[in-house]
Amino acid sequence: MSANRWLATGNYFTTYKEEQRIFLTHTDRLIFSFFLVCVFVWPLVFETNNKSMLVVDNILIAMIAVLGLNLVTGFAGLISIGHAAFVGVGAYTVASVSRVMGDDYILLTHAWPAMILASGLVGAVFGAMVGLPAFRLKHLYLAIATLSFQMIFQWTINFMEFFNQGQTIFVGRIFWLNGEVGRNEHYIFWYYVILIILVLLGFMVRNLLRTRFGRCLIAVRDNDRAADAMGMHPGLTKVYAFGLAGFFAGIAGALHAYLYRGVGIESFTLHESITYLAMAIVGGLGTLNGSFWGPAAIKMLELQVEKIAEHAGDMMPASMNLATALRPLTFGLVIVLFLMFEPRGIANWWRIIRSYFKLWPFRY
């Protein structure tokens, strides 16, 4: 290790412990702290409106969900085409309480942090259950097992009277220290809640990867038989991974339920599962910061395309079809182009930019 912990240009590790530090240099830590402060302060400085806060909140929730998906798909290498269903499990945990106890029951409105945690745990249980076939299944067959869960989940919600047959189940307004959180502060309030949870979970994943379990995940992804030979249990590791992904998804689901103040099946369909996968890939599979880039990129792209489509619609009113075709076209093209030209996702660009600054004035 170089003596200077501010400007390290290369790897000077002498112990494993040094290599596994969360922040390699003091500069890293400083920049990160500064970034965190910015993220917390900006809504107080700039004027915000409900729509943009809703969009931002939505992106943050997607980040939490994709963090989980990245654990199971990126780090453990198990394709999950049912992630939205796990998010749905979390949301419907909140909805069930609302259904049984009434939507302004004290547990929902006052003890909401506990509800969010509980939803995460329920999500984890379901995740582990769906992961059980991983003891025997691999690759595509496992992917199809998750797809089955997605279909069964959708059918159950659509069919059961208890879940209002997929129609919205309302969740009441919540209370905070200074009383009810009203319509005007709703989105800002949840921005902070989601942000804090996201930062906590982000650190959790970062730390997880430093543990024995984190290394197990990667070993199982790269070659599960070799991992087995080295004394790891691939089956159990996979089930753990699914359970963890379910936990993250469950929390995202509960937050979704509270943010939208209601739960309906449309937000947890197969199409959403595919979108989560696309986010994970565009961000960069198997990287921590990819889970943040992906959702932001995909959601922003959607918004921009919507705007362009609107203008296109204004220009050519008689052929509305062009405007409506733009969204699936761009979504598909972005996925395909990323996979063809940048399979490592946006996280790779980030890595390149970072090393550029790190190595400057030398060339990358």
Partner 1 sequence: MTYFFQLVLSGVVVGSIYALSALGFVLIYKSSRVLNIAHGQLIATGAFIAYALTVWVGIPIYLSFFISMVLTFFLTMSVERIFLRRLIGEPIISVIMVTIGLMSILDGLIYLTPFGSENFSFPRFLPKEPISMAGVSISWTQLVGVIITFAMIGAFSWFFKKSTVGISMRAVSDDQLASMSIGISVPRVFGLAWATAGLSAAAAGGIIGNITGLNFDTLHAFGITVFPVVILGGLDSILGAVVAGIIMGLIQQFASGYLDGNWGLNGTGTVLPYIILLIILLFKPHGLFGIHEIERV
Partner 2 sequence: MRNHKMMFVPILMSFIAVLFFAANLQAGEVYKLALSLAITGPTSDAGNPYAKGVEDYFRFVNDTKMLGDDRIECTIRDDQYKTDVTKRNFEDFLDQGIVLYLNYSTGSTMGLKRDFEEEKIAVIPASFHAGNLVDSNYIFLPIASYSEQTIGLAEYVANNHKGDKPKVALFVHPSAFGRGPVEDVEKAAKAGLNIEVVEVVEHGQDLDNTAMLKRLKSKGVQYVISQTVQSPVATMLKDAARLGYTAKTFGEAGKITFMGAHYTGGNDLIALAGAAAENFFWTTSYKLTSEKSAGADAQLALAARYGRDEKAANSHNYTNGIMVAQVATEVIKRVKKQGLKVNRKTLYDELNQMNGAKAFQPDTTVGPVTYSKTDHAGVDTLQLYRVDGGVFRSVGTPFLCEYIKKI
Q: Which residues bind partner 2 (CB under 8 A)?
A: 49-51, 54-55, 58, 158-159, 164-168, 170, 183, 260-262, 264, 266-267, 306, 309-310, 313, 315, 317-318, 320, 323-325, 327-328
If the CB atoms of residues 187 and 293 are measured against partner 2, the closer one turns out to be 187
State in angstroms the smallest separation of the CB of 85 from partner 1. Answer: 12
Task: Report 90-129 residues binding partner 1 (CB under 8 A).
Answer: none
Contact with partner 1 (CB under 8 A) among 59, 278, 279, 298: 278
In 3D, which of 295, 269, 283 has the Cα closest to residue 65? 295
If the CB atoms of residues 54 and 137 are measured against partner 1, the closer one turns out to be 137
Q: 63 with 292: CB under 8 angstroms?
A: yes
Contact with partner 1 (CB under 8 A) among 20, 167, 223, 304: 223
353: contact with partner 1 by CB under 8 A: no
Task: Give the separation between CA 66 and CA 73, rounded to whole angstroms.
Answer: 10
State in angstroms the smallest separation of the CB of 55 from partner 2. Answer: 7
Contact with partner 1 (CB under 8 A) among 24, 39, 79, 125: 79
Contact with partner 1 (CB under 8 A) among 332, 349, 360, 364: 332
Task: Give the separation between CA 2 and CA 11, rounded to whole angstroms.
Answer: 9
334: contact with partner 1 by CB under 8 A: yes
SS3 175: strand
315: contact with partner 1 by CB under 8 A: no
State in angstroms the smallest separation of the CB of 132 from partner 1. Answer: 8
If the CB atoms of residues 170 and 331 are measured against partner 1, the closer one turns out to be 331
State the amino acid at position 187 in one-letter form.
Y
The span from the first CA to the last CA of the chain, in angstroms, equals: 22
Task: Give the separation between CA 281 and CA 293, rounded to whole angstroms.
Answer: 10
If the CB atoms of residues 159 and 356 are measured against partner 2, the closer one turns out to be 159
Residues 6 or more apart whose Cβ sits within 8 Å of residue 222: 77
Task: Give the separation between CA 180 and CA 94, rounded to whole angstroms.
Answer: 18
340: contact with partner 1 by CB under 8 A: yes
333: contact with partner 1 by CB under 8 A: yes
Name the β-bridge partners of 176: 179
State in angstroms the smallest separation of the CB of 136 from partner 1. Answer: 5
Question: Looking at 4-12, 84-92, 146-154, 193-201, which segment touches partner 1 (CB under 8 A)?
Answer: 146-154
State in angstroms the smallest separation of the CB of 312 from partner 2. Answer: 12
DSSP-assigned letters across all residues of 230-285: TT--HHHHHHHHHHHHHHHHHHHHHHHHHHHTEE-GGGGSHHHHHHHHHHHHHH-T
Q: 297 with 349: CB under 8 angstroms?
A: no
How many binding residues for partner 1 (CB under 8 A)? 50
From the list partner 1, partner 2, none, pick the one residue 309 interacts with, judged by a Cβ distance below 5 to 8 Å according to partner type.
partner 2
State in angstroms the smallest separation of the CB of 17 from partner 1. Answer: 30
Task: Give the separation between CA 86 and CA 153, rounded to whole angstroms.
Answer: 9
Name the β-bridge partners of 169: 263
b or e along 179-193 (b: 16 or more beta carbons within 10 Å of the residue's beta carbon)? eebeeeebbbbbbeb
Sites of contact with partner 1 (CB under 8 A) = 73, 77, 79, 133, 136-141, 143-145, 147-149, 151-152, 155-156, 158-159, 223, 225-226, 229, 270, 274, 277-278, 281, 285, 321-322, 324-336, 339-340, 343
